[in-house]
Amino acid sequence: MGPEAKFYKEIKRKLPEFSFIRIENSSLLGTPDLLVYNTSGHFCTVELKVSKGKKLRFSPHQIAFHKRHPDNTFILAKTLGPCFSKTSPISMYRGSRITELAACGLTLEACCLGLDACRLMLAQVGSKA
């Protein structure tokens, strides 16, 4: 089992209040890894990334997807190596920032640090603020 598959199992186990649908799509390149249904009845997508360093790799199709669909899309990253300043082992970024994330890696400021903060952000998708 690869690192992203292990990360998916961890997320599914630690965030049971959400419905996670793993998307395995070879016909529509760039589609995020997860379709998430939150407790408010709203959907979002999550791209999973696991890294040993500060760099995250994205395909041109993944970048294009997030640029075309900037709302309610997220990139959830797990660091296996040492953490960098302003990061935690798990950090989440808005999909609209994928170009910056591809360039800066995990040195880019995340919208959420840690799984509990990610849980709150996913729960708020679709709510009026």
Using CA atoms, how far apart are residues 97 and 77, in angstroms rounded to an integer? 13
pLDDT band at 111 (very low <50, low <70, confident <90, very high): very high
Locate 58 and state its tokens.
């994205």
Locate 121 and state its tokens.
């952000």
Tell which residue, 4, 32, 34, has the closest CA to residue 19.
34
Instruction: State the Rg of the chain over Cα.
Output: 14
pTM: 0.91
Using CA atoms, how far apart are residues 30 and 27, in angstroms rounded to an integer? 9
Using CA atoms, how far apart are residues 45 and 3, in angstroms rounded to an integer? 19
pLDDT digits (tens, 9 = 90+) for 7-64: 999 999 999 999 999 987 776 888 999 999 999 999 999 999 999 888 999 999 999 9
